[in-house]
A and B are shown apart, each in its own frame.
Chain A
Amino acid sequence: MPTGVTNSLTAAGHKATSSQRQKARGEKDFEPRILAFCCNWCSYAGADLAGTSRRQMPPNVRIIRVNCTGRVDPSFILDALNQGADGVLISGCHPGDCHYTSGNLKMKSRFALLQKVLEEAGFEPERIHLQWASAAEGDVFTEGITSMVERIKALGPNPARKD
Protein backbone atom coordinates (compact mmCIF):
# COMPACT_ATOMS: atom_id res chain seq x y z
CA MET A 1 0.00 0.00 0.00
CA PRO A 2 1.65 3.29 -0.99
CA THR A 3 1.30 5.28 2.20
CA GLY A 4 1.69 8.61 0.48
CA VAL A 5 -1.51 8.03 -1.44
CA THR A 6 -3.58 6.45 1.28
CA ASN A 7 -2.72 9.05 3.89
CA SER A 8 -3.63 11.98 1.74
CA LEU A 9 -7.19 10.89 1.00
CA THR A 10 -9.99 11.88 3.32
CA ALA A 11 -13.54 10.62 3.27
CA ALA A 12 -14.51 13.26 0.74
CA GLY A 13 -11.76 12.10 -1.59
CA HIS A 14 -9.95 15.44 -1.51
CA LYS A 15 -6.31 15.99 -0.77
CA ALA A 16 -5.92 16.42 2.93
CA THR A 17 -3.98 19.27 4.44
CA SER A 18 -1.31 18.36 6.94
CA SER A 19 -3.52 19.40 9.86
CA GLN A 20 -6.31 17.18 8.58
CA ARG A 21 -3.86 14.38 8.23
CA GLN A 22 -2.78 14.93 11.80
CA LYS A 23 -6.39 14.82 12.86
CA ALA A 24 -7.10 11.60 10.99
CA ARG A 25 -4.65 9.85 13.23
CA GLY A 26 -6.79 10.56 16.26
CA GLU A 27 -9.39 7.92 17.05
CA LYS A 28 -12.22 10.42 16.70
CA ASP A 29 -11.80 11.17 13.00
CA PHE A 30 -10.56 7.74 12.24
CA GLU A 31 -10.69 6.90 8.54
CA PRO A 32 -10.06 3.18 8.17
CA ARG A 33 -7.88 1.73 5.46
CA ILE A 34 -9.56 -1.39 4.21
CA LEU A 35 -8.29 -3.90 1.70
CA ALA A 36 -10.80 -5.79 -0.42
CA PHE A 37 -10.08 -8.93 -2.38
CA CYS A 38 -12.69 -9.15 -5.13
CA CYS A 39 -13.10 -12.11 -7.43
CA ASN A 40 -12.83 -11.39 -11.11
CA TRP A 41 -16.12 -13.00 -12.11
CA CYS A 42 -18.62 -11.62 -9.64
CA SER A 43 -17.62 -9.01 -7.10
CA TYR A 44 -15.09 -7.11 -9.22
CA ALA A 45 -17.73 -6.80 -11.94
CA GLY A 46 -20.21 -5.90 -9.19
CA ALA A 47 -17.86 -3.14 -8.01
CA ASP A 48 -17.60 -1.94 -11.60
CA LEU A 49 -21.38 -1.88 -11.90
CA ALA A 50 -21.63 0.07 -8.64
CA GLY A 51 -19.22 2.58 -10.14
CA THR A 52 -20.95 2.93 -13.51
CA SER A 53 -24.30 3.20 -11.72
CA ARG A 54 -22.75 6.08 -9.74
CA ARG A 55 -23.59 4.55 -6.39
CA GLN A 56 -22.14 6.41 -3.45
CA MET A 57 -19.87 4.57 -1.03
CA PRO A 58 -17.08 5.54 1.34
CA PRO A 59 -13.63 5.68 -0.33
CA ASN A 60 -11.82 3.75 2.39
CA VAL A 61 -11.49 0.54 0.42
CA ARG A 62 -8.67 -0.45 -1.94
CA ILE A 63 -9.53 -3.35 -4.19
CA ILE A 64 -7.23 -6.12 -5.31
CA ARG A 65 -8.68 -8.25 -8.07
CA VAL A 66 -8.11 -11.98 -7.79
CA ASN A 67 -9.35 -14.69 -10.11
CA CYS A 68 -11.32 -16.37 -7.36
CA THR A 69 -11.77 -15.97 -3.60
CA GLY A 70 -10.37 -19.50 -3.46
CA ARG A 71 -7.06 -17.96 -4.55
CA VAL A 72 -6.93 -15.77 -1.46
CA ASP A 73 -4.45 -17.49 0.83
CA PRO A 74 -5.05 -16.72 4.52
CA SER A 75 -1.47 -15.46 4.64
CA PHE A 76 -2.47 -12.61 2.24
CA ILE A 77 -5.08 -11.50 4.75
CA LEU A 78 -2.73 -11.70 7.72
CA ASP A 79 0.01 -9.96 5.74
CA ALA A 80 -2.38 -7.09 4.98
CA LEU A 81 -3.30 -6.74 8.65
CA ASN A 82 0.37 -6.92 9.61
CA GLN A 83 1.12 -4.12 7.16
CA GLY A 84 -1.48 -1.96 8.87
CA ALA A 85 -4.79 -2.51 7.09
CA ASP A 86 -7.62 -1.82 9.53
CA GLY A 87 -9.82 -4.42 7.91
CA VAL A 88 -9.83 -6.94 5.10
CA LEU A 89 -12.92 -7.67 3.04
CA ILE A 90 -13.17 -10.70 0.81
CA SER A 91 -15.95 -10.52 -1.75
CA GLY A 92 -16.84 -13.36 -4.05
CA CYS A 93 -19.56 -15.19 -5.96
CA HIS A 94 -22.63 -16.57 -4.24
CA PRO A 95 -22.37 -20.25 -3.28
CA GLY A 96 -23.12 -22.30 -6.38
CA ASP A 97 -22.11 -19.48 -8.72
CA CYS A 98 -18.33 -19.89 -8.50
CA HIS A 99 -16.65 -19.78 -11.90
CA TYR A 100 -14.38 -22.56 -10.65
CA THR A 101 -17.27 -24.45 -8.99
CA SER A 102 -16.11 -24.36 -5.36
CA GLY A 103 -13.39 -21.74 -4.75
CA ASN A 104 -15.75 -19.56 -2.73
CA LEU A 105 -16.75 -22.50 -0.51
CA LYS A 106 -13.07 -23.22 0.21
CA MET A 107 -12.68 -19.58 1.17
CA LYS A 108 -15.71 -19.88 3.45
CA SER A 109 -14.09 -22.78 5.34
CA ARG A 110 -10.73 -21.03 5.55
CA PHE A 111 -12.44 -17.87 6.68
CA ALA A 112 -14.20 -19.62 9.59
CA LEU A 113 -10.88 -21.06 10.81
CA LEU A 114 -8.99 -17.83 10.24
CA GLN A 115 -11.49 -15.81 12.27
CA LYS A 116 -10.99 -18.21 15.16
CA VAL A 117 -7.19 -17.94 14.88
CA LEU A 118 -7.45 -14.15 14.83
CA GLU A 119 -9.64 -14.13 17.91
CA GLU A 120 -7.30 -16.47 19.78
CA ALA A 121 -4.38 -14.19 18.92
CA GLY A 122 -6.16 -11.29 20.60
CA PHE A 123 -7.56 -9.41 17.60
CA GLU A 124 -11.19 -8.68 16.75
CA PRO A 125 -12.44 -11.33 14.29
CA GLU A 126 -14.71 -8.67 12.74
CA ARG A 127 -11.64 -7.04 11.18
CA ILE A 128 -12.01 -9.57 8.41
CA HIS A 129 -15.27 -10.10 6.57
CA LEU A 130 -16.52 -12.37 3.84
CA GLN A 131 -19.41 -11.37 1.60
CA TRP A 132 -21.03 -12.57 -1.59
CA ALA A 133 -21.90 -10.08 -4.34
CA SER A 134 -22.63 -11.08 -7.93
CA ALA A 135 -21.81 -9.13 -11.08
CA ALA A 136 -25.39 -7.85 -11.16
CA GLU A 137 -25.39 -6.73 -7.54
CA GLY A 138 -23.79 -3.30 -7.55
CA ASP A 139 -26.16 -2.34 -4.75
CA VAL A 140 -25.16 -5.34 -2.61
CA PHE A 141 -21.51 -4.49 -3.15
CA THR A 142 -22.09 -0.86 -2.16
CA GLU A 143 -24.00 -1.96 0.92
CA GLY A 144 -21.21 -4.41 1.82
CA ILE A 145 -18.53 -1.73 1.56
CA THR A 146 -20.57 0.78 3.56
CA SER A 147 -21.29 -1.61 6.39
CA MET A 148 -17.67 -2.84 6.41
CA VAL A 149 -16.43 0.74 6.84
CA GLU A 150 -18.96 1.34 9.62
CA ARG A 151 -17.96 -1.89 11.34
CA ILE A 152 -14.25 -1.02 11.26
CA LYS A 153 -14.93 2.56 12.36
CA ALA A 154 -16.67 1.16 15.42
CA LEU A 155 -13.72 -1.13 16.14
CA GLY A 156 -11.12 1.63 15.82
CA PRO A 157 -7.72 1.46 14.17
CA ASN A 158 -5.78 -1.76 13.81
CA PRO A 159 -3.62 -1.88 16.95
CA ALA A 160 -0.68 -3.01 14.80
CA ARG A 161 -1.06 -0.07 12.41
CA LYS A 162 1.88 2.24 12.03
CA ASP A 163 0.98 5.90 12.51
Chain B
Amino acid sequence: MTKRIAMAQLTSCWGCDQSLLDLHLGLLEVLPELEIVFWPAVVDFKIKDLESMPDESIHIGLVEGSCRTEDDVRLLNLMRAKSKILVAWGVCSCYGGIQGLANQWELDELVDRKFMKADTVTDPRIPSENVPAFVPQVRPNVDVVKFNILLPGCPPTSKNIVEALAAILTGKPFDLPEKSVCDQCPKVKQDKHITKFHRSHEGRIDPSKCLLDQGYLCLGFATIGFCGAICPTVNSPCKGCFGPVLRVKDHGAKIVSALGAIAEMEPEQLKDSFPDPIGSFYFTDYAASYLSRMRDKARSKKK
Protein backbone atom coordinates (compact mmCIF):
# COMPACT_ATOMS: atom_id res chain seq x y z
CA MET B 1 0.00 0.00 0.00
CA THR B 2 1.34 3.43 -0.82
CA LYS B 3 1.58 5.97 1.99
CA ARG B 4 0.07 9.41 1.58
CA ILE B 5 2.67 12.12 2.17
CA ALA B 6 2.36 15.90 2.46
CA MET B 7 5.16 18.43 2.51
CA ALA B 8 4.31 21.87 3.88
CA GLN B 9 6.55 24.93 3.89
CA LEU B 10 6.39 27.60 6.56
CA THR B 11 8.88 30.48 6.70
CA SER B 12 12.08 28.96 5.36
CA CYS B 13 14.46 28.86 2.41
CA TRP B 14 12.98 25.59 1.09
CA GLY B 15 16.45 24.09 1.20
CA CYS B 16 15.04 20.91 2.75
CA ASP B 17 13.09 20.33 -0.49
CA GLN B 18 16.33 20.81 -2.42
CA SER B 19 17.99 18.25 -0.21
CA LEU B 20 15.19 15.77 -0.90
CA LEU B 21 15.49 16.39 -4.65
CA ASP B 22 19.28 15.93 -4.39
CA LEU B 23 18.50 12.23 -4.10
CA HIS B 24 18.17 12.33 -7.91
CA LEU B 25 17.73 8.77 -9.13
CA GLY B 26 17.62 7.60 -5.53
CA LEU B 27 14.15 9.15 -5.41
CA LEU B 28 12.98 6.35 -7.69
CA GLU B 29 13.45 3.87 -4.86
CA VAL B 30 11.21 5.84 -2.51
CA LEU B 31 8.61 7.32 -4.84
CA PRO B 32 6.68 4.11 -5.66
CA GLU B 33 5.93 3.80 -1.93
CA LEU B 34 4.52 7.31 -1.68
CA GLU B 35 1.51 9.20 -2.88
CA ILE B 36 2.16 12.93 -2.74
CA VAL B 37 -1.02 14.71 -1.70
CA PHE B 38 0.32 18.18 -0.89
CA TRP B 39 3.61 19.78 -1.97
CA PRO B 40 3.26 23.46 -2.86
CA ALA B 41 7.00 23.77 -3.45
CA VAL B 42 6.61 21.73 -6.62
CA VAL B 43 2.94 21.59 -7.63
CA ASP B 44 0.31 24.31 -7.28
CA PHE B 45 -1.57 22.94 -4.28
CA LYS B 46 -3.72 25.38 -2.33
CA ILE B 47 -4.43 25.43 1.37
CA LYS B 48 -8.07 24.52 0.66
CA ASP B 49 -6.82 21.23 -0.82
CA LEU B 50 -5.31 20.42 2.54
CA GLU B 51 -8.36 21.66 4.43
CA SER B 52 -10.66 19.41 2.43
CA MET B 53 -8.81 16.25 3.51
CA PRO B 54 -10.20 14.28 6.48
CA ASP B 55 -8.29 14.49 9.76
CA GLU B 56 -5.36 12.07 10.12
CA SER B 57 -5.72 11.07 6.48
CA ILE B 58 -2.07 11.81 5.69
CA HIS B 59 0.35 9.10 6.78
CA ILE B 60 3.46 11.27 6.78
CA GLY B 61 3.44 15.03 7.14
CA LEU B 62 6.73 16.88 6.70
CA VAL B 63 6.80 20.43 8.00
CA GLU B 64 9.65 22.65 6.95
CA GLY B 65 10.37 26.14 8.26
CA SER B 66 9.22 28.03 11.34
CA CYS B 67 6.27 30.28 12.15
CA ARG B 68 6.99 33.91 11.32
CA THR B 69 3.47 34.76 10.14
CA GLU B 70 -0.04 33.95 11.32
CA ASP B 71 -0.55 31.91 8.13
CA ASP B 72 2.41 29.74 9.13
CA VAL B 73 0.77 29.00 12.49
CA ARG B 74 -2.50 28.12 10.74
CA LEU B 75 -0.77 25.80 8.27
CA LEU B 76 1.22 24.13 11.05
CA ASN B 77 -1.94 23.38 13.05
CA LEU B 78 -3.63 22.15 9.91
CA MET B 79 -0.74 19.80 9.14
CA ARG B 80 -0.91 18.43 12.69
CA ALA B 81 -4.62 17.77 12.39
CA LYS B 82 -4.34 16.05 9.01
CA SER B 83 -1.18 13.97 9.64
CA LYS B 84 -0.70 10.73 11.51
CA ILE B 85 3.08 11.10 11.74
CA LEU B 86 4.30 14.67 11.78
CA VAL B 87 7.98 15.24 11.06
CA ALA B 88 9.85 18.42 11.97
CA TRP B 89 11.77 18.63 8.73
CA GLY B 90 14.95 20.63 9.14
CA VAL B 91 16.39 22.73 11.93
CA CYS B 92 13.91 25.62 11.38
CA SER B 93 11.08 23.27 12.18
CA CYS B 94 12.90 21.73 15.16
CA TYR B 95 14.50 24.79 16.78
CA GLY B 96 13.32 27.89 14.90
CA GLY B 97 16.17 28.17 12.39
CA ILE B 98 18.24 31.17 11.42
CA GLN B 99 15.16 33.39 11.47
CA GLY B 100 15.00 32.70 15.22
CA LEU B 101 17.96 35.08 15.60
CA ALA B 102 15.44 37.85 14.92
CA ASN B 103 14.05 37.23 18.42
CA GLN B 104 16.80 39.54 19.67
CA TRP B 105 14.74 42.48 18.41
CA GLU B 106 11.15 43.63 18.64
CA LEU B 107 8.86 43.18 15.64
CA ASP B 108 8.57 46.90 14.88
CA GLU B 109 12.37 47.23 14.80
CA LEU B 110 12.59 44.28 12.41
CA VAL B 111 9.89 45.58 10.09
CA ASP B 112 11.48 49.03 10.10
CA ARG B 113 14.92 47.63 9.29
CA LYS B 114 13.68 45.32 6.57
CA PHE B 115 11.13 47.44 4.74
CA MET B 116 12.17 51.01 5.51
CA LYS B 117 15.93 51.10 6.11
CA ALA B 118 17.47 48.26 4.11
CA ASP B 119 20.18 49.59 1.79
CA THR B 120 18.47 48.18 -1.28
CA VAL B 121 15.07 49.73 -0.58
CA THR B 122 14.19 52.56 -2.99
CA ASP B 123 10.49 52.90 -2.20
CA PRO B 124 10.23 52.45 1.57
CA ARG B 125 6.79 51.25 2.67
CA ILE B 126 5.44 48.51 4.87
CA PRO B 127 3.30 46.09 2.86
CA SER B 128 -0.19 45.85 4.29
CA GLU B 129 -2.35 44.26 1.59
CA ASN B 130 -2.60 40.57 0.67
CA VAL B 131 0.14 39.59 3.12
CA PRO B 132 -0.29 37.64 6.33
CA ALA B 133 0.46 39.41 9.61
CA PHE B 134 3.75 38.70 11.39
CA VAL B 135 3.82 37.02 14.78
CA PRO B 136 5.85 38.90 17.43
CA GLN B 137 8.48 36.18 17.78
CA VAL B 138 9.61 32.93 16.22
CA ARG B 139 8.78 30.03 18.53
CA PRO B 140 10.05 26.52 17.84
CA ASN B 141 7.28 24.54 16.12
CA VAL B 142 7.57 21.86 18.79
CA ASP B 143 6.25 24.45 21.27
CA VAL B 144 3.14 24.94 19.12
CA VAL B 145 2.11 21.40 18.16
CA LYS B 146 3.29 17.90 19.00
CA PHE B 147 5.70 16.27 16.56
CA ASN B 148 6.42 12.56 16.20
CA ILE B 149 9.86 12.80 14.67
CA LEU B 150 12.58 15.44 14.76
CA LEU B 151 14.82 15.61 11.73
CA PRO B 152 17.26 18.48 12.32
CA GLY B 153 19.69 19.84 9.77
CA CYS B 154 20.19 22.87 7.61
CA PRO B 155 19.20 21.11 5.49
CA PRO B 156 19.09 17.47 6.65
CA THR B 157 21.26 15.58 4.19
CA SER B 158 19.58 13.52 1.47
CA LYS B 159 20.77 10.46 3.38
CA ASN B 160 19.12 11.69 6.61
CA ILE B 161 15.82 12.25 4.83
CA VAL B 162 15.77 8.90 3.06
CA GLU B 163 16.71 7.09 6.28
CA ALA B 164 13.91 8.78 8.17
CA LEU B 165 11.39 8.04 5.40
CA ALA B 166 12.55 4.43 5.17
CA ALA B 167 12.10 4.00 8.93
CA ILE B 168 8.61 5.45 8.82
CA LEU B 169 7.60 3.35 5.80
CA THR B 170 8.81 0.13 7.38
CA GLY B 171 7.44 1.01 10.81
CA LYS B 172 10.85 0.96 12.47
CA PRO B 173 11.75 3.47 15.20
CA PHE B 174 13.79 6.47 14.10
CA ASP B 175 16.18 7.76 16.74
CA LEU B 176 18.62 10.60 16.47
CA PRO B 177 22.26 9.73 17.14
CA GLU B 178 23.74 10.35 20.60
CA LYS B 179 27.06 11.45 19.15
CA SER B 180 28.53 14.80 18.22
CA VAL B 181 30.04 16.03 14.96
CA CYS B 182 33.52 15.51 16.48
CA ASP B 183 32.77 11.78 16.76
CA GLN B 184 32.26 11.70 12.99
CA CYS B 185 35.13 14.01 12.09
CA PRO B 186 38.25 12.30 10.71
CA LYS B 187 40.71 14.99 11.83
CA VAL B 188 43.37 14.29 14.44
CA LYS B 189 42.47 15.77 17.82
CA GLN B 190 45.14 16.70 20.35
CA ASP B 191 45.29 18.54 23.66
CA LYS B 192 43.83 21.97 23.18
CA HIS B 193 46.05 25.01 23.65
CA ILE B 194 44.05 27.80 22.03
CA THR B 195 45.66 31.18 22.57
CA LYS B 196 43.81 33.05 19.81
CA PHE B 197 40.70 32.55 17.72
CA HIS B 198 40.91 33.16 13.98
CA ARG B 199 38.21 33.97 11.45
CA SER B 200 37.92 31.17 8.91
CA HIS B 201 39.66 33.20 6.17
CA GLU B 202 42.66 34.00 8.35
CA GLY B 203 45.85 31.97 8.40
CA ARG B 204 46.43 28.59 6.82
CA ILE B 205 44.50 25.53 7.93
CA ASP B 206 46.41 22.28 8.46
CA PRO B 207 43.94 19.85 6.83
CA SER B 208 45.01 16.88 8.96
CA LYS B 209 44.41 18.49 12.37
CA CYS B 210 41.32 19.43 14.37
CA LEU B 211 40.13 22.92 13.38
CA LEU B 212 39.32 23.90 16.95
CA ASP B 213 42.85 22.96 18.06
CA GLN B 214 44.09 25.38 15.41
CA GLY B 215 41.98 28.22 16.81
CA TYR B 216 39.02 28.16 14.44
CA LEU B 217 35.59 28.26 16.04
CA CYS B 218 34.43 24.80 14.99
CA LEU B 219 31.28 23.91 16.94
CA GLY B 220 31.31 20.17 16.25
CA PHE B 221 31.77 19.38 19.96
CA ALA B 222 28.33 20.75 20.84
CA THR B 223 26.50 19.83 17.66
CA ILE B 224 24.59 16.66 16.92
CA GLY B 225 26.57 14.17 14.80
CA PHE B 226 23.97 13.62 12.14
CA CYS B 227 25.53 15.24 9.06
CA GLY B 228 28.63 13.06 8.78
CA ALA B 229 30.90 16.02 9.63
CA ILE B 230 30.67 17.24 6.04
CA CYS B 231 31.98 20.74 6.77
CA PRO B 232 35.03 20.05 8.97
CA THR B 233 36.01 17.20 6.66
CA VAL B 234 36.56 19.80 3.93
CA ASN B 235 38.24 22.27 6.35
CA SER B 236 35.23 24.48 6.92
CA PRO B 237 34.52 24.95 10.64
CA CYS B 238 31.20 23.56 11.90
CA LYS B 239 28.66 26.35 12.44
CA GLY B 240 26.40 24.15 14.52
CA CYS B 241 23.59 24.23 11.97
CA PHE B 242 22.15 20.82 12.91
CA GLY B 243 21.41 22.03 16.43
CA PRO B 244 22.68 20.75 19.78
CA VAL B 245 23.73 17.26 20.77
CA LEU B 246 20.77 15.28 22.14
CA ARG B 247 19.67 16.32 25.64
CA VAL B 248 21.66 19.58 25.54
CA LYS B 249 19.03 22.13 26.44
CA ASP B 250 20.82 25.25 25.31
CA HIS B 251 23.30 25.04 22.46
CA GLY B 252 24.99 28.38 23.04
CA ALA B 253 25.36 27.89 26.80
CA LYS B 254 27.12 24.61 26.14
CA ILE B 255 29.46 26.30 23.69
CA VAL B 256 30.23 29.06 26.21
CA SER B 257 30.89 26.35 28.79
CA ALA B 258 33.37 24.55 26.56
CA LEU B 259 35.15 27.67 25.30
CA GLY B 260 35.64 28.92 28.85
CA ALA B 261 37.31 25.66 29.73
CA ILE B 262 39.59 25.19 26.72
CA ALA B 263 40.71 28.68 25.75
CA GLU B 264 44.08 29.60 27.21
CA MET B 265 43.47 33.32 27.23
CA GLU B 266 42.36 36.07 29.57
CA PRO B 267 38.57 36.25 30.01
CA GLU B 268 38.49 39.73 28.48
CA GLN B 269 40.42 38.56 25.43
CA LEU B 270 38.08 35.59 25.04
CA LYS B 271 35.09 37.90 25.25
CA ASP B 272 36.52 40.21 22.61
CA SER B 273 37.15 37.27 20.27
CA PHE B 274 33.43 37.01 19.49
CA PRO B 275 31.82 40.27 18.37
CA ASP B 276 28.42 38.58 17.88
CA PRO B 277 28.23 35.68 20.34
CA ILE B 278 24.52 34.97 19.76
CA GLY B 279 25.01 34.77 16.00
CA SER B 280 28.08 32.58 16.46
CA PHE B 281 26.79 30.25 19.18
CA TYR B 282 23.08 29.99 18.35
CA PHE B 283 23.24 30.03 14.54
CA THR B 284 20.06 28.04 13.91
CA ASP B 285 18.54 27.44 17.35
CA TYR B 286 18.26 30.79 19.11
CA ALA B 287 14.45 30.53 19.19
CA ALA B 288 14.80 27.41 21.37
CA SER B 289 17.30 29.01 23.79
CA TYR B 290 16.63 30.09 27.37
CA LEU B 291 17.40 33.70 26.43
CA SER B 292 14.88 33.79 23.61
CA ARG B 293 12.25 32.22 25.88
CA MET B 294 12.99 34.87 28.51
CA ARG B 295 12.55 37.63 25.94
CA ASP B 296 9.32 35.98 24.84
CA LYS B 297 8.00 36.02 28.42
CA ALA B 298 9.06 39.63 28.90
CA ARG B 299 7.30 40.53 25.65
CA SER B 300 4.01 38.88 26.55
CA LYS B 301 4.17 40.48 30.02
CA LYS B 302 4.53 43.93 28.50
CA LYS B 303 1.26 43.44 26.64
Interface residues of A (CB under 8 A from B): 70, 73-75, 77-79, 81-82, 106-118, 120-123, 158-163
Residues of A within 8 A of B248 (CB): 75
Known: A75-B257, A113-B259. A123 touches B249 (CB 8 A): no
Is there an interface contact between A74 and B293, defined as CB atoms closer than 8 Å?
A: no
Known pairs A113-B271, A117-B277; list 8 more (Cβ under 8 Å).
A74-B250, A106-B261, A109-B267, A110-B261, A117-B278, A118-B291, A121-B294, A159-B302
Q: Does B297 contact A (CB under 8 A)?
A: yes
Residues of A within 8 A of B221 (CB): none
Most buried by A among B291, B292, B298: B291
Is there an interface contact between A82 and B293, defined as CB atoms closer than 8 Å?
A: yes
C-alpha gap A106/B262 in the complex (Å): 8
Most buried by A among B104, B259, B277, B292: B277
Residues of A within 8 A of B254 (CB): 73-75
B55-107 contacts to A, CB under 8 A, are 104
The number of residues on chain B lying at the interface, defined by a beta carbon within 8 Å of a beta carbon of chain A, is 34
Is there an interface contact between B104 and A120, defined as CB atoms closer than 8 Å?
A: yes
| Tally of contacts, chain A with chain B, CB under 8 A | 108
Residues of B within 8 A of A112 (CB): 260, 267-268, 270-271
C-alpha gap A3/B270 in the complex (Å): 37
C-alpha gap A122/B278 in the complex (Å): 11
Residues of A within 8 A of B263 (CB): 109
Is there an interface contact between A121 and B295, defined as CB atoms closer than 8 Å?
A: yes
C-alpha gap A144/B274 in the complex (Å): 30
Known: A116-B274, A116-B277, A117-B278. A110 touches B290 (CB 8 A): no
Residues of A within 8 A of B246 (CB): none
Residues of B within 8 A of A111 (CB): 260, 267
Residues of A within 8 A of B271 (CB): 112-113, 115-116
Q: Min CB distance, A114 to chain B, in Å?
A: 5
Least CB separation from B278: chain A residue = A120
